[in-house]
Amino acid sequence: MNPAYLCASTMAHVDEFIDGELGPRECEGVEAHLLVCPRCRAAYQRELDLKNIVRKACACSGVPDELKDRVLARISQLRVDVDGATFESLTFRAAVYRQGPNTAPGGGG
């Protein structure tokens, strides 16, 4: 098989490979190519390093307990009836309004 094709095919799936989104057969193909192709292996390592840097930069230390408690309390307040409609049904109506009437269950409107 054409080596340029193998490189292009491997690099087209390198993100999925890094994220563990490929099946076993595809993983074997990518791994086999990376073992014999220093150019693709270097590109793979750069992608892996970049993903790790982004993952570390985007890591969050968690939400303070006080903020969680305030948010949960506010959600509980919103669940009370508003003009005879519960919060959940109002949320559903808003979603249907944004997407259009034909997206409602039962194919309305």
- For residue 92, what pLDDT is reported? 53
- For residue 43, what pLDDT is reported? 93
- For residue 70, what pLDDT is reported? 86
Integer Cα distance of 92 and 98 in angstroms: 10
User: Is the sign of the CA dihedral 25, 27, 32, 36 positive or negative?
Assistant: positive
Ordered by start, the domain boundaries in the chain are: 3-58, 65-101
Environment class of 18 (CB within 10 Å of its CB; exposed 0-12, middle 13-18, buried 19+): middle
Q: What tens-digit pLDDT sequence spans the chain (109 residues)?
A: 667 778 998 999 999 999 999 999 999 999 999 999 999 999 999 999 998 888 888 777 677 888 888 887 777 666 554 445 554 555 555 555 555 555 444 444 4
